[in-house]
């Protein structure tokens, strides 16, 4: 007998970054919160992440979001985020993709006009407002956990690149914030490969000795992200734009400017006195895709002064699919996968409205 399992996916993209939303085919995970469920999956069921982000099933440049039961009563669904780097606790683009998939599939009823949705990420509640037009999600504004500047004025010697100065900011994960122009980079399509190589060399050099703890969420792992910052240009009173690129270790340069990268940039700008409450920064990825980050209010995370902000973007549906996982395939590592997959016959996947 072949050991086969089925997963139901809704593939989406936000700013060019593909998120695969797993809506059925996974057993209920143990844990009293979405964070605990994510920790269980990370330590006991990482085969799911590797399967869907590796050939022949996927690509490391994608992300995966697993829909789970929320623990917080105000949340309509929970989701666990998986990327090449591991398990970020929050992600703006993944949140935008996940809520779009849930609404467009009918898993959360869609209402035309403005609609408020609350999801539970591993980092806590994501408060989301969508603008829906003619049965479609036209735009999404999401507020996750506050970002804060953890360290400033850090530096590391990077082989072949020399001394690189950076600041360390928490925004769903730790980000090393780097002024790209200081190292001769422009953030555009032509320099994507060079930026990826720089990001890889930098993260490998910078990881030793950097903090790996969050004051409320505990151990969060080694540095996963570098965010490259370009020049800031003022568009109008209280509105700016800037080329921006996020590197995900290992080896991925995001197609969007990323929501958490943008939130990290806002927290750093606020610390420097460069942006204030109610003002916004539009970040532009190397491929020309844009997110808008808006400063809300001050906050605190443990001992750190922090910043609430929102990210506005949009997502598009790419595919509804049922994929077959052959656990006897030598390309499938079932050692930490089989027990998290459901062996029940699945009904038809949720359909686009």
Residues with catalytic roles: 91
Q: Identify the bridge partners of residue 307 per DSSP, sorted by sequence position.
A: 147, 298
Angle at CA 309, nearest 5°, toward 143 and 222? Answer: 80
Q: How far is 125 from 71, CA to CA, in rounded Å? A: 10
Cis before 56? omega within 30: yes
To which residue do tokens 């690149």 refer?
161
Distance CA 229, CA 245 (A): 7
Give the torsion sign (CA, 18, 24, 25, 31).
positive
Contact (Cβ atoms closer than 8 angstroms) between residue 235 and residue 255: no
Q: Which pair of structure tokens corresponds to residue 118?
A: 């609350």
């Amino acid at each position: 007998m072949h050991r086969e399992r089925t997963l139901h996916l809704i593939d989406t993209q936000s700013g060019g970054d593909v998120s695969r939303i797993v809506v059925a085919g996974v057993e209920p995970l143990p844990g009293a919160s979405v964070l605990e469920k994510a920790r269980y999956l990370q330590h006991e069921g990482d085969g799911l992440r590797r399967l869907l982000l590796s050939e022949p099933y996927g690509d490391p440049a994608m992300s995966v979001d697993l829909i789970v039961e929320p623990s917080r009563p105000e949340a309509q669904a929970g989701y666990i985020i998986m990327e090449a780097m591991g398990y970020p606790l929050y992600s703006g683009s993944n949140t935008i993709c996940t809520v779009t998939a849930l609404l467009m599939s009918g898993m959360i009823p869609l209402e035309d006009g403005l609609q408020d949705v609350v999801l539970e990420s591993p980092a806590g509640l994501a408060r989301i407002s969508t603008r829906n037009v003619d049965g479609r999600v036209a735009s999404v504004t999401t507020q996750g956990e506050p970002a804060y500047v953890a360290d400033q004025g850090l530096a590391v010697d990077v082989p072949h690149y020399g001394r690189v100065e950076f600041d360390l900011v928490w925004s769903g994960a730790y980000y090393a914030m780097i002024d790209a122009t200081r190292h001769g980079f422009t953030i555009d399509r032509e320099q994507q490969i060079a930026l990826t190589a720089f990001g890889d060399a930098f993260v490998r050099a910078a990881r030793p000795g950097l903090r790996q703890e969050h004051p409320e969420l505990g151990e969060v792992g080694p540095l996963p992200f570098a965010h490259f910052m370009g020049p800031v240009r003022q568009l109008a009173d209280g509105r700016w734009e800037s080329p921006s690129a996020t590197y995900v270790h290992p080896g991925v340069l995001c197609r969007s400017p990323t929501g958490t990268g943008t939130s990290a940039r806002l927290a750093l700008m606020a610390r420097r006195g460069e942006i204030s409450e109610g003002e916004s920064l539009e970040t532009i990825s190397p491929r020309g895709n844009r997110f808008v980050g808006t400063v809300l209010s001050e906050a605190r995370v443990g001992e750190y002064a922090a910043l609430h902000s929102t990210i506005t973007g949009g997502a598009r549906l790419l595919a509804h699919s049922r994929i077959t996982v052959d656990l006897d395939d030598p390309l499938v590592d079932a050692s930490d996968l089989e027990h998290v997959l459901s062996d029940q016959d699945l009904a038809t996947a949720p359909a686009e409205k």
